[in-house]
C-alpha cells in the first residue's frame, strides 16, 4: 500500500492532537507543527499529498501558507480549518487552490470522510504513476518511446523490414528521431554485429563527398599521399547511415546508385571495383518528390532507396506520447544532474501540452534538460521551462533557448540562486530556504557544498 503523507499546521496543540488521534491509520504518516514557518519547512522537505491548515495563525495566515504551497506544488490537497468562517474567506480559499474548508469545532466524522477521499485520490495518483512507469517500459523500443498508433505502426514496420532490407529511406521533420530508426534497423538486421557508420551529408564539403564515401588511391589527386578507405567500404558487413541525403550532390548520387545496384565500390583514382556487403539507410527532412521535380534529387535513386520507406511522425501528431516522453527525459536528466526530480507541476504540464513543438522530440528533450538544470526543488514548474515554452511561442529560437549549457553551468547557476536567496533574506537561512521552496536542512547542505556564508 503506497504511503500517504499529511502535514497539519495549527497554533493550538489541542487541535493537532485531535487531528492525529482522529486520522491515525496504517499507511498514513502525519506530521504536525504549531509554527507556520516550521510547517512550511516540513512541507518542502516531506512533500506531502495532504495539508491541513488553521486559517488564523501568527507570522503567517492559512491563506498565505496556501499561496506558498500552491507555488511549491499545486497538486498538494490543502484543507483550511477555522472558527471564523465567512463566505468571502471560503471563496478566496477555493480560488487560491484549497481542496476544502472546514469549520471549527471540527466534526470528526466529517474530517475523516474528507481526508479519506483525499487519501484515496492520492493513492490512485500513485497507482497511476506506477502504471505510467510500467507503460514507459512497455512502450520503449530500441531507444524510442511511444504508445501512439503512429509510433506502434512505425515500430511494427521496423520489426518487419529489418531482417530483409538492403536499402531504406527514412523521412520526417527535424528532431523526430530518424537516427534512432536507422539504428533500430541496424540492430534488428542480420548485420547487427557489423559497424554502424554515420555520414552527415549536410556537413561534408561538396568537393570532398566522393573521397569521403568511396575513398581514394594514392596519387588520385594532389595531397593523396596514401590509399584511404571510404565510409562505404568501412561499413562493409554493417550499415551506412546517410543523414540528410538531400544535401548530396547529383554526381555523387549517381555513384551511390551504382553501389546499391552492384554492391561494389570503386575508390577515386582506381579502375578496380571492390565487392562489398553493406546495408544503406538514408534519411531526409525535405520533400523528396519536390526535390525530384526541381532536379535536385535523382528519381532512380529515390525509387531504389524507397523500396523501404519509413516516416517518423512529428510530435504534434503524437501528443498522447508527451507524458511518457516527459518522464523518460526527466528521469534521465535527474540522474545526469544528480537531482531529485519527481515530475512536473500541473502548470508545467499545461505549458508543455500547449506548446506546438516545431523542433519535435529534440526540442522537448532540450526544454526538459533546461528545466531540470534550472529547477531548485524536486518538481519542475512553468518558471523552470525555457521562455518560448512558458509564453506559448513557437519557433527555432525555442530550441536554442532550451539547450542545456556546457558542463559545470548547473553548479554555477545553483550557487547563484542560493546566494541571491541569502541576500534577499539578509542572511536568514530559514527565509532563504522558503524563498527557494526547499527545507532548511537542504539549504544548509547546499550552503556547505558551495562554501556560502
Q: Is residue 224 part of a domain?
A: yes
Q: Is residue 174 part of a domain?
A: yes
76 and 161 share a domain?
no
Which pLDDT belongs to residue 413?
A: 67
State the cell numbers at 416.
547563484
Which pLDDT belongs to residue 408?
A: 44
Number of domains in the chain: 3
Task: List phi, psi (to 5°) of 384.
Answer: -80, -15
State the cell numbers at 60.
503567517
Which pLDDT belongs to residue 398?
A: 40
298 and 440 share a domain?
no
Show the domain range for 39: 4-136
120 and 232 share a domain?
no
79 and 224 share a domain?
no
Q: Is residue 141 part of a domain?
A: no
161 and 271 share a domain?
yes
Which pLDDT belongs to residue 221?
A: 84
Q: Is residue 91 part of a domain?
A: yes
Tell me how crowded residue 302 is: count the other CB atoms within 10 A of its CB. 19
238 and 331 share a domain?
no
Q: Is residue 396 part of a domain?
A: yes
CATH code of the domain covering residue 389: 1.10.8.60
CA 268 to chain centre: 45
Q: Is residue 173 part of a domain?
A: yes
Q: Is residue 72 part of a domain?
A: yes
251 and 179 share a domain?
yes
Which pLDDT belongs to residue 411?
A: 65
| CA–CA gap between residue 262 and residue 167 (Å, rounded) | 13
154 and 257 share a domain?
yes
Using the 3D structure, point to which of 311, 339, 365 is the last residue of a domain.
311
Tell me how crowded residue 62 is: count the other CB atoms within 10 A of its CB. 26
| CA–CA gap between residue 433 and residue 439 (Å, rounded) | 6
Which pLDDT belongs to residue 397?
A: 38
Q: What is the gyration radius of the CA atoms in the chain, in angstroms?
A: 30
CA 385 to chain centre: 11
Tell me how crowded residue 339 is: count the other CB atoms within 10 A of its CB. 17
CATH code of the domain covering residue 111: 3.40.50.2300
425 and 289 share a domain?
no
| CA–CA gap between residue 234 and residue 278 (Å, rounded) | 9
| CA–CA gap between residue 61 and residue 65 (Å, rounded) | 6
Residue 160: C-alpha distances to residues 84, 141, 164, 318, 347 (Å): 69, 14, 8, 22, 41
Which pLDDT belongs to residue 405?
A: 43
Residue 313: C-alpha distances to residues 341, 358, 369 (Å): 29, 12, 22
| CA–CA gap between residue 49 and residue 73 (Å, rounded) | 10
Cell 530508426 identifies what position? 181
74 and 168 share a domain?
no
Which pLDDT belongs to residue 392?
A: 56
Query: Can you list the residues of the chain whose pLDDT is less than 50?
Result: 393-408
126 and 166 share a domain?
no
Using the 3D structure, point to which of 254, 285, 311 is the last residue of a domain.
311
Which pLDDT belongs to residue 29?
A: 94
Cell 466534526 identifies what position? 107
Q: Is residue 255 part of a domain?
A: yes
Using the 3D structure, point to which of 72, 106, 136 is the last residue of a domain.
136
28 and 167 share a domain?
no
Amino acid at each position: 500500500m503506497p504511503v500517504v503523507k499529511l502535514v497539519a499546521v495549527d497554533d493550538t496543540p489541542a487541535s493537532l492532537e485531535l487531528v492525529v488521534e482522529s486520522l491515525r491509520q496504517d499507511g498514513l504518516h502525519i506530521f504536525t507543527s504549531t509554527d507556520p514557518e516550521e510547517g512550511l519547512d516540513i512541507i518542502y522537505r516531506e512533500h506531502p499529498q495532504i495539508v491541513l491548515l488553521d486559517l488564523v495563525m501568527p507570522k503567517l495566515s492559512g491563506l498565505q501558507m496556501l499561496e506558498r504551497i500552491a507555488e511549491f506544488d499545486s497538486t498538494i490537497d490543502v484543507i483550511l480549518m477555522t472558527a471564523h468562517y465567512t463566505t468571502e474567506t471560503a471563496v478566496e480559499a477555493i480560488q487560491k487552490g484549497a481542496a476544502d474548508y472546514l469549520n471549527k469545532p471540527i466534526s470528526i466524522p466529517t474530517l475523516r470522510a474528507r481526508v479519506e477521499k483525499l487519501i484515496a485520490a492520492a493513492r490512485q495518483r500513485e497507482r497511476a504513476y506506477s502504471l505510467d512507469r510500467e507503460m514507459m517500459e512497455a512502450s520503449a523500443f530500441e531507444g524510442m518511446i511511444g504508445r501512439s498508433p503512429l509510433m506502434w505502426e512505425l515500430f511494427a514496420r521496423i520489426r518487419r523490414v529489418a531482417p530483409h532490407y538492403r536499402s531504406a529511406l527514412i523521412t520526417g521533420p527535424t528532431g523526430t528521431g530518424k537516427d534512432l530508426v536507422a539504428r533500430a534497423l541496424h540492430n534488428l538486421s542480420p548485420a547487427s554485429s557489423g559497424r554502424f557508420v554515420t555520414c552527415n551529408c549536410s556537413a561534408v564539403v561538396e568537393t570532398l563527398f566522393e573521397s569521403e564515401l568511396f575513398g581514394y588511391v594514392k596519387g588520385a589527386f594532389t595531397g593523396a599521399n596514401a590509399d584511404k578507405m571510404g565510409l562505404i567500404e568501412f561499413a562493409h558487413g554493417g550499415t551506412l547511415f546517410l543523414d540528410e541525403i538531400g544535401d548530396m550532390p547529383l554526381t555523387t548520387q549517381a555513384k551511390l546508385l551504382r553501389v546499391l545496384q552492384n554492391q561494389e565500390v570503386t575508390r577515386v583514382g582506381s579502375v578496380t571495383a571492390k565487392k562489398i556487403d553493406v546495408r544503406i539507410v538514408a534519411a531526409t527532412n525535405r520533400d523528396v518528390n519536390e526535390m525530384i521535380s526541381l532536379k535536385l534529387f535523382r528519381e532512380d535513386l529515390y525509387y531504389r532507396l524507397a523500396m523501404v520507406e519509413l516516416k517518423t511522425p512529428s510530435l504534434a501528431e503524437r501528443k498522447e506520447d508527451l507524458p511518457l516522453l516527459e518522464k523518460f527525459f526527466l528521469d534521465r536528466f535527474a540522474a545526469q544532474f544528480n537531482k531529485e526530480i519527481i515530475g512536473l507541476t500541473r502548470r508545467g504540464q499545461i505549458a508543455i501540452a500547449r506548446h506546438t513543438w516545431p523542433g519535435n522530440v529534440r526540442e522537448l528533450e532540450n526544454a526538459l534538460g533546461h528545466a531540470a538544470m534550472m529547477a531548485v526543488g524536486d518538481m519542475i514548474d512553468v518558471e523552470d521551462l525555457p521562455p518560448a515554452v512558458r509564453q506559448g511561442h513557437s519557433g527555432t529560437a525555442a530550441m536554442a533557448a532550451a539547450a542545456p549549457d556546457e558542463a559545470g553551468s548547473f553548479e554555477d547557476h545553483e550557487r547563484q540562486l542560493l546566494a541571491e536567496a541569502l541576500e534577499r533574506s539578509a542572511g536568514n537561512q530559514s527565509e532563504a530556504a522558503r524563498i527557494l521552496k526547499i527545507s532548511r536542512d537542504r539549504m544548509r547542505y547546499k550552503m556547505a557544498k558551495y562554501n556560502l556564508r
